[in-house]
Amino acid sequence: MSEHGAGPAIETSGLIKIFGKNRALDGLDLTVPAGTVYGVLGPNGAGKTTAVRILATLLRPDGGEARVFGHDIVRDADAVRGRVSLTGQFASVDEDMTGMENLVLIARLLGYRKPGARDRAAQLLEAFGLTDAADRQVKNFSGGMRRRLDIAASILNTPELLFLDEPTTGLDPRSRNQVWDIIRIVVAQGTTVMLTTQYLDEADRLAGRIAVIDHGKVIAEGTPGQLKASVGAGSVHVRLRDASQRPEAERVLSKALDAPVQLEADPVALTARVAGEGIEHAAAERAARALSELAAAGISVDDFSLGQPSLDEAFLALTGAPARADARTDHPATSEETAA
Amino acid sequence: MSATTTEPGTAYVPAAEALSAVMAPGARPRRPSALSASITFGWRAMLKIKHVPEQLFDVTAFPIIMTLMFTYLFGGALAGSTTEYLQYLLPGIMVTSIVMITMYTGVAVNTDIEKGVFDRFRSLSIWRPAPMVGYILGDMFRYTVASLVILVVGLVLGFRPGGGVTGVLAGIALLIAFSFAFSWVWTMFGLLLRSEKSVMGVSMLVLFPLTFLSNVFVDPETMPGWLQVFVEVNPITHLVSAVRSLMGGTTDTGEVTLVLISSAVLVVVFGTLTMRLYNRK
């Protein structure tokens, strides 16, 4: 931590990994600042797990370079191993052994002597609410308990960098929240966390920065706010009481929002994108003004909502889903039309 | 079971103080020595036996069947009486049984390697061969159990070794030392082959010729010349001669030395190949 100063936790350049004909990583460039949660977001098969496995020294890259706290992951693999921990996509604990035995095993392998290893294991079981399950075989654990044991094993040596590969996949919402809380506490202790996920809200909630990867490459990188801003500030949804007022409502809205208004299939519904330069409260202000102007024009509104742009929208836009791509390219043209 | 399984899972609320306390950067212990890490993995193998005791079946029932079967099947025909044949056969059948069960090391490696826990082991800063050595250490316990089971069955059937307790124990020790070395063949195949089934398949292909085309069951003098050539270079033949000589009280130092040398060669060659595969996996 402190010994590395301000250097990044992870730095990769042009990382390549090829499995047969599949380029799992196709020139991956990442810089992960120390002391934060860094989200790696991507669909299945995007290369997230491959990237984690290479950075945790489990796989050798076929090209490119990667450093973890300044240590080359190939030439100086052992130095990297001494600083990182991995919680894999599939439980990285031994199913046949008990919770206690699993943690004692890892503690011993990290160099704790026998009594010290048991104390450390007991302390972790307590902190992770697993004391009651200490002597039960892991195969009888629930999914959430297993995941907690897994994370406990990973932080046993207080790693400087923790890889969490899809840590909440397959967990129920309550266990998911527990894992999120744990991650927040872990990062507050100074450990850097690299979190891969396909859940957009998970990355949004936890990560300070996010890299969106697809086909083994980073296609966008930034704070969750920056990524959202790249797709616009959101949309206003309006439902009118009287369908006959819709043309008038369309005119008022497009003027107030300075944006194209879309007429929905439902004859009383309208949707408008709020440009808002990506600043959320500006978008909210404008939406509020639009609402009061609708009222001033004597239009009865049944329902009004401002949809926050989700990371989901950002993700779809970035990975080139057709609907979003159209919306973006059409935007300037339509707005000129309506303004004229 | 299910009620108690869900209860602690749902009631748990991560407490910042408790978690911060366990993550407080205390003095990190020093990296464990190669021996300590290997023994820890050996301990894991023993725990697995404790939790899944059925796996001792193949080191108890299988050797008993082997001993009974061959003693009574060949005894009358080959040596005139089963008791007489047993004096010749027992050291050989012990070698055959133990060498055959070494292949379970490969099966264990193969089934474990794809599991997430192996990723954790491989991402630790420990002596690299430690997990593999640990498997074999655990298996040496199994070899010891199997040897003792065969010895007891043999003694009951009338095996009277001339070498006494010392000779018999020395014979078993040599056999286990060789099996430790031979197990590296299986760690290699365990890492190389795709499934448990293919490990079993290959093991049959290797083990049957190796154990049967030897001096375990019959005197090589009775075989055709070309087969004698193979039997003569087969390390199992030398192992059986050495173990027989130790147990019989007529220690053949030349054969014992040869077995120790071939063991060392096996470890160097297959240990190296195993570790190459392990690091590439």
Using CB atoms, pick whichever of A109, A129, A188 lies closest to residue B40: A109
Q: Note which residues in 178-207 of chain A have CB less than 8 A from chain B.
A: 178, 181-182, 185-186, 188-191
Check whether residue A181 and residue A314 sit in a common domain.
no
Where are any strands of DSSP class E within chain A? Answer: 10-19, 22-32, 37-41, 63-68, 71-72, 84-87, 161-165, 192-197, 209-214, 217-222, 234-240, 261-263, 269-274, 301-307
Check whether residue A9 and residue A142 sit in a common domain.
yes
Check whether residue A149 and residue A160 sit in a common domain.
yes
Q: Bigger pLDDT: B216 or B11?
A: B216
> B117 to chain A nearest CA, in Å?
4
The per-residue pLDDT of chain A, averaged, comes to 84
List own/partner pairs for A286-295 with CB under 8 A and 24 or more apart. Answer: A286/A256, A286/A257, A287/A236, A287/A257, A289/A256, A290/A236, A290/A252, A290/A253, A290/A256, A290/A257, A293/A252, A293/A255, A293/A256, A294/A238, A294/A249, A294/A252, A294/A253, A294/A256
User: What is the residue range of A247's domain?
Assistant: 231-339
Contact of A124 with chain B, judged by CB distance below 8 Å, is answered with yes
What is the arithmetic mean of pLDDT over A109-136? 93
Residue pLDDT, tens place only, B205-256:
999 999 988 888 888 888 888 999 899 899 999 999 999 999 999 999 999 9
The count of domains in chain A is: 2
Check whether residue A279 and residue A316 sit in a common domain.
yes
Q: Tell me if A96 and B23 make a contact (CB, 8 A cut-off).
A: no
Cβ-Cβ contacts under 8 Å for A187 (sequence gap 6 or more): A35, A36, A37, A193
- Residue at a domain's end among A194, A213, A228: A228
pLDDT band at A281 (very low <50, low <70, confident <90, very high): low
- Best of A75, A108, A181, A186 to mutate (most B CBs within 10 Å, chain B): A108
Contact of A155 with chain B, judged by CB distance below 8 Å, is answered with yes
pLDDT band at A231 (very low <50, low <70, confident <90, very high): low
Check whether residue A65 and residue A207 sit in a common domain.
yes
Per mean pLDDT, which range of A29-38, A282-291, A313-322, B249-258 is the poorest? A313-322
- Residue at a domain's end among A213, A228, A243: A228
> For residue B109, what is the enclosing H or E element?
helix B103-113
CB atoms within 10 A of CB B157: 16
pLDDT band at B188 (very low <50, low <70, confident <90, very high): very high
- Residue at a domain's end among A189, A209, A228: A228
Chain B residues with beta carbon closer than 8 angstroms to that of A94: 44, 115, 117
Give the rounded percent of residues in chain B with a pLDDT score beyond 90: 58
- Best of B6, B7, B12, B46 to mutate (most A CBs within 10 Å, chain A): B12
What secondary structure letter does DSSP report for A4? G
Taking the C-alpha atoms of residue A116 and residue B262, their distance in angstroms, rounded to an integer, is: 41
Check whether residue A223 and residue A239 sit in a common domain.
no
Give the rounded percent of residues in chain B with a pLDDT score beyond 70: 94
Residue whose C-alpha is closest to residue B126's, from B33, B56, B188: B33
A23, two tokens = 């380029």
Taking the C-alpha atoms of residue A297 and residue A246, their distance in angstroms, rounded to an integer, is: 12
pLDDT at A24 over 90: yes
The answer to whether A290 touches A253, Cβ cutoff 8 Å, is: yes
Contact of A108 with chain B, judged by CB distance below 8 Å, is answered with yes
CB atoms within 10 A of CB A3: 8
> B122 to chain A nearest CA, in Å?
7
Euclidean distance between the first and the last CA atom of chain B, given in angstroms as a whole number: 38
- Among left, alpha and beta (phi > 0; psi -120 to 50; other), residue A27 is left
Check whether residue A242 and residue A202 sit in a common domain.
no
Q: Bigger pLDDT: B181 or B74?
A: B181
Check whether residue A243 and residue A192 sit in a common domain.
no
Report the relative pairing of strands A37-41 and A209-214 from DSSP bridges: parallel
Contact of B24 with chain A, judged by CB distance below 8 Å, is answered with yes
pLDDT band at A233 (very low <50, low <70, confident <90, very high): low
ipTM field: 0.86
Contact of A112 with chain B, judged by CB distance below 8 Å, is answered with yes
Chain B residues with beta carbon closer than 8 angstroms to that of A188: 16, 20
Chain A residues with beta carbon closer than 8 angstroms to that of B130: 109
Q: Could you give the angle at the alpha carbon of B75 between the alpha carbons of B70 and B77, nearest 5°?
A: 120
Contact of A1 with chain B, judged by CB distance below 8 Å, is answered with yes
Per mean pLDDT, which range of A326-340, B28-42, B67-81 is the poorest? A326-340
Residue pLDDT, tens place only, B32-57:
999 999 999 999 999 999 998 888 88
| Helix (H/G/I), strand (E/B), else coil: A70 | coil
Check which CATH number belongs to the domain holding A331 and give it. Answer: 3.30.70
Residue whose C-alpha is closest to residue A193's, from A168, A222, A223, A160: A160
Using CB atoms, pick whichever of A97, A145, A190 lies closest to residue B8: A145
Per mean pLDDT, which range of A122-136, A253-267, B143-157 is the poorest? A253-267
Residue pLDDT, tens place only, A157-184:
889 999 999 999 888 999 999 999 999 9
Q: In b/e form, how buried is each residue of B206-219, taking b as 16+ CB within 10 angstroms?
A: ebeebbebbbbbbe
pLDDT at A39 over 90: yes
Check whether residue A137 and residue A262 sit in a common domain.
no
Q: Tell me if B22 and A124 make a contact (CB, 8 A cut-off).
A: yes
pLDDT of A327:
35
Q: In b/e form, how buried is each residue of A208-236, taking b as 16+ CB within 10 angstroms?
A: ebbbbbbbbbbebbeebeebbbbbbbbbb
- Best of B22, B31, B114 to mutate (most A CBs within 10 Å, chain A): B22
Contact of A78 with chain B, judged by CB distance below 8 Å, is answered with yes
Q: Note which residues in 67-106 of chain B have CB less than 8 A from chain A.
A: none
Using CB atoms, pick whichever of A88, A142, A185 lies closest to residue B9: A142
Check which CATH number belongs to the domain holding A191 and give it. Answer: 3.40.50.300
Q: Tell me if A111 and B32 make a contact (CB, 8 A cut-off).
A: yes
Check whether residue A158 and residue A254 sit in a common domain.
no
- Best of B123, B127, B133, B135 to mutate (most A CBs within 10 Å, chain A): B123
What is the arithmetic mean of pLDDT over A62-85? 94
| Helix (H/G/I), strand (E/B), else coil: A219 | strand
pLDDT of B57:
86
Residue pLDDT, tens place only, A309-331:
666 666 666 766 433 333 333 33
Give the rounded percent of residues in chain A with a pLDDT score beyond 70: 84
DSSP notation for A228-279? HHTT-SEEEEEEES-GGGHHHHHHHHHHHHTS-EEEPSSTTEEEEEE-GGG-
Check whether residue A176 and residue A192 sit in a common domain.
yes
> B40 to chain A nearest CA, in Å?
7
pLDDT at B5 over 70: no
Closest CA in chain A for residue B31 = A111
Q: Tell me if A142 and B12 make a contact (CB, 8 A cut-off).
A: no
Q: Tell me the CB-side half-sphere exposure of residue B17, using CA atoms within 13 A.
A: 0
pLDDT at A188 over 60: yes
Check whether residue A61 and residue A147 sit in a common domain.
yes
> A212 to chain B nearest CA, in Å?
25
Chain A, chain B: beta-carbon pairs less than 8 Å apart: 148
Residue A1 exposed, middle or buried by CB count within 10 Å (0-12, 13-18, 19+): middle
